[in-house]
Amino acid sequence: MPITKLDLAKSTASASRQSVSDCERVIELFLDCVVSSVSRGHQVHLRRFANFIPRQRNPRPARNVHTGEAMSVPAHRVMVARMAVEL
């Protein structure tokens, strides 16, 4: 069963004696910070958890799965997440 942001907030709230809404806000701010840093081209390293690395994907040919028409996928940036070995 997947764990949601709300589940994380509830768990954090019970461990820290903070309100669930405050913990939700902290989790949301944390995720926003990671995403904005990676979108600016910076790597984010969280020891014993994960590394978030921006990568540039080259343009490539592709096909429309519905029509079979040949098309081109433009170059774009993606975020790669590498989980820590300890997990």
| Domain boundaries defined on the chain | 1-40, 43-87
- The pLDDT of residue 15 is above 70: yes
CB 84 within 8 A of CB 48: yes
* Confidence (pTM): 0.76
Amino acid sitting at position 34: V
pLDDT at residue 81, rounded to an integer: 94
Instruction: Supply the CATH classification number for the domain 43-87.
Output: 4.10.520.10
Strands 44-46 and 50-57 come out as: antiparallel
Q: Residue 85 has what pLDDT?
A: 87
Work out the number of other CB atoms within 10 angstroms of the CB of residue 42: 13
With a cut of 80, say whether residue 22 has pLDDT above it: yes
Q: What is the pLDDT of residue 1?
A: 84
In this predicted structure, what is the pLDDT of residue 21? 95
